[in-house]
Chain A
Amino acid sequence: MTKPALLLAVLALAAHPPAPAQETQPETPSPGGTIVVGSKNFAENRLLGELFAQLIEAHTGLEVERRLGLAGTEFCFEALRTGSIDLYPEYTGTGLVTLLGEEPTASKFEALATVRAEFLRRFDLHWLAPIGFENSYELAIRADLAHSGEGELRTISDLVPVAPTLRAGFGYEFVERGDGLPGLADTYGLSFANVQSILQAPKYQAAAAGAVDVIDAYTTDGRLLVYDLVVLEDDLGFFPPYEAAPLVRGDTLERHPEVGAVLGLLGQAIDEGRMRALNLRLQEEHEPIEDVAHDLLRELELLPGDVETVAPERQPRDSGLGAYMWSRRRELSTYTAEHIGLSAVALALGILFAVPLALLLDRLRTGTSEAMIRIIGMSQTLPSLALFGFLIPVLGVGVVPSVVALWIYSIFPILRSSCTGLREADPDAASAATALGMTEGQVLRRVRLPLAVPTIMAGVRTAGVITVGTATIAAFIGAGGLGQPIIAGVQLVNIQQILSGAIPAALLALAADAMLGALGKWLRPRGVGP
């Protein structure tokens, strides 16, 4: 087997990484396959997604695929609308203001009625029975500031006169959304000394450390119980009601009406107090989401007694990183396999695209091809979330758009090095080969391409490291990989969880560098190079 053929075979293998070991499924053959459950990227929404998933698994023969932790409302909604996921937990106020662009309303019944009718009419999406709690935005201020100065701060109106001296730390969505800061500022005439955008989870720590004075909080956030913060009353009734409910595709309910029935079991099942306690378990105790969801379903007596539910292995508390990673070894090896799969496929596609493109550009004048390379180079500067923003409406969420995004990032380094390699590979040898009667094609295949291999492989190596390093972003759109524990860990402020993804990811990048380096050495023609 020639080297290139062998290389192709290896890449083909890498493109089909062995499927992660499946748990033995309950033997009921599912009548219609798989339900894909999504969620947004914060603890409560993930937990709801996990609850939906476990309920469906326990009561139907359907398989459930989890795409938890998608990067925000728009990503979830697009994924649902385009059919990449079948359902996710949404909030009526968000549906009303952010997704429909309607005026906020103070009545939760009116909010639910409006979103139900409009989502059905416009998108064929169904709001099922609300779960029982509202999770509205709140403003919270550090207790020491609320109690200092002239009189206590109790309401948002009280905040208005002192706000110009205060620093705010708000979530990204809150800063942008009509039912967030812009509307709030309009309604109350509120303006702060400065506003910083911070992820939901670290905000509380930032407030506790005195780095910010005012934050946006969720009603059900468990950390309101722990951190020394005062929630300010929305005295003008600005924030619309945010009842949590499953949002499901119409065609999914048509195919699997049992999904609607099963999710109905959660109707009015969880109140604010209970949700806050559950969130606290996730946010401060760092318990695994699967455990918390499982416990809750058991408490609610929503698990059928005759179905043997697999309780996830409980991790020992307060153990070291090593023990933590060992207890999660099954998930971590799945994530690692996904990570390698995504990177390898993207890199292989990058090579298959960029090298032939370089051969094509090589036929153009140097100036023209340089200009084209520079244009293609601009793809490198696209922020990954912006790239996903373009890709999701077309490709949905999951593996495909992730691979496409990684592929786009891998093209430039390979193209750049291939063009340079072809242009600068021993021009004397190429001209001598021509003078002795090689055709243009023979010169390319037998002389210029082999001599360009070391330069091309240097580009492949760079692209490989970039791809493995960037593949963590795939978790933002539900493609898994080692970004999964990193992103979840950031949201849950769980350092061990972050490291359990970050360390293997870094090791993988190093391994990719070493392997591609060795591969380059092996492919380098004898007689060339150092």
Chain B
Amino acid sequence: MRLLGVSKVYPGAGSADEVTAVDGADLEILEGETLALVGESGCGKSSLLRLLNRMEEPSAGDLYFGDARLSTFEPTALRRRIGYVQQTGGLLPHWTVQRNVCLVPELLGWPKERRRKRAEELLRLVGLPAATYAARYPRELSGGERQRVAVAHALAADPPLVLLDEPFGALDAITRAEVQQTFMRLRASREQTAVIVTHDLDEAFLLADRIAVMRRGRLLQTAPPQELIDSPADPYVGELLDRAAN
């Protein structure tokens, strides 16, 4: 997926000025990589992520998915091919764990038996045995368990691209480390592209092949972790790394 000069401007409400969340972003997401978008809260990283599955439409610039413009894809069909995990998990509270995991397969019309098998497999992979967890409701799970289910349901239909918006941000440190381990194990076993938004540089270093640093809507530098450390392209990048190191 490529972005060329993409901007997103939100119209001002009432007397408030309009807000430029994303400002002329050029970015190429390479097949199979894990790309982390990092920056302070409000820097536009979540907006950028939501442009990728057409939850937002760009105010300017073009996005390409393969060779075709993103805007030529029908939004719901597109989203069914892109996994998505949000900070609060976004599980449907009135659906069981199993049904939540297989939400996208259900939308795609997979037969029931295939969905059940798929849920079982994924739940095992995220460390929640189906026998115990499949019939539970989200509120009967801990925060960490919920995020594991969220990861499972983003991967359920084997999408070529997975978007994760602060997926582990609401978890305590120990749980976060556990779920991160699970996520890495899952990533290792498949050739999926992933874009993960985080404000936690450690997490970015742990999970990502490349890191894109954003500030006030602008992409400052996109590079592998080591390159960011060795040759920061902007004083802010260095500052950010120093802060993380402390």
| Contacts from A to B (Cβ < 8 Å) | 426, 428-429, 431-439, 442, 446-447, 450-451, 525-528
Structural contact, B86 and A432, CB atoms closer than 8 A: yes
Structural contact, A429 and B137, CB atoms closer than 8 A: no
Structural contact, B90 and A437, CB atoms closer than 8 A: no
Contacts of A526 in B (CB 8 A): 94, 137
Query: B79 in the interface, Cβ–Cβ < 8 Å?
Result: yes
- With A435-B55, A439-B76 in contact, do A426 and B103 touch (Cβ < 8 Å)? no
- With A526-B137, A527-B137, A527-B138 in contact, do A436 and B94 touch (Cβ < 8 Å)? no
Query: B139 in the interface, Cβ–Cβ < 8 Å?
Result: yes
Contacts of A447 in B (CB 8 A): 92
Contacts of B89 in A (CB 8 A): 428, 432
Query: B95 in the interface, Cβ–Cβ < 8 Å?
Result: yes
Instruction: Give the interface SS of chain A, mostly helix, strand, loop or mixed.
Output: helix
Write out, one digit per residue, whether chain B residues 87-120 have a CB within 8 A of any chain A CB (1) or not (0).
0111111111000000110010000000000000
Residue of A nearest to B96 (CB): A527
Structural contact, B139 and A436, CB atoms closer than 8 A: no
- With A447-B92, A527-B94 in contact, do A437 and B80 touch (Cβ < 8 Å)? yes
Structural contact, A429 and B86, CB atoms closer than 8 A: no
Write out, one digit per residue, whether chain B residues 212-232 have a CB within 8 A of any chain A CB (1) or not (0).
000000000000000000000
| Contacts from B to A (Cβ < 8 Å) | 50, 53, 55, 76-81, 83-84, 86, 88-96, 103-104, 107, 137-140, 153-154
Contacts of A438 in B (CB 8 A): 76, 103, 107
The smallest C-beta distance from A440 to any residue of chain B, in angstroms, reads 9
Residue of B nearest to A433 (CB): B92
Question: Mind listing 6 A-B residue pairs with CB under 8 Å?
Answer: A435-B53, A436-B154, A437-B78, A446-B92, A527-B93, A528-B94
Tell me which of B90, B91, B93, B140 contacts A435 (CB under 8 A): B90
Q: Give Cα A528 to B93, complex, Å.
A: 6
Residue of B nearest to A429 (CB): B92
- With A435-B79, A436-B104, A437-B76 in contact, do A451 and B94 touch (Cβ < 8 Å)? yes
Contacts of A431 in B (CB 8 A): 55, 86, 90
Structural contact, A435 and B86, CB atoms closer than 8 A: yes
Which of B90, B92, B96, B154 has most chain A Cβ within 10 Å? B92
Structural contact, A428 and B86, CB atoms closer than 8 A: yes
The smallest C-beta distance from A447 to any residue of chain B, in angstroms, reads 6
Tell me which of A428, A433, A439, A528 contacts B103 (CB under 8 A): A433
Structural contact, A451 and B84, CB atoms closer than 8 A: no
Structural contact, A450 and B104, CB atoms closer than 8 A: no
Q: Give Cα A159 to B46, complex, Å.
A: 87
- With A436-B79, A437-B77 in contact, do A428 and B107 touch (Cβ < 8 Å)? no
Contacts A432-B90, A526-B137 supplied; 13 other A-B pairs, CB < 8 Å = A432-B89, A433-B90, A433-B103, A435-B90, A436-B84, A436-B104, A437-B78, A438-B76, A451-B94, A525-B93, A527-B95, A527-B137, A528-B93
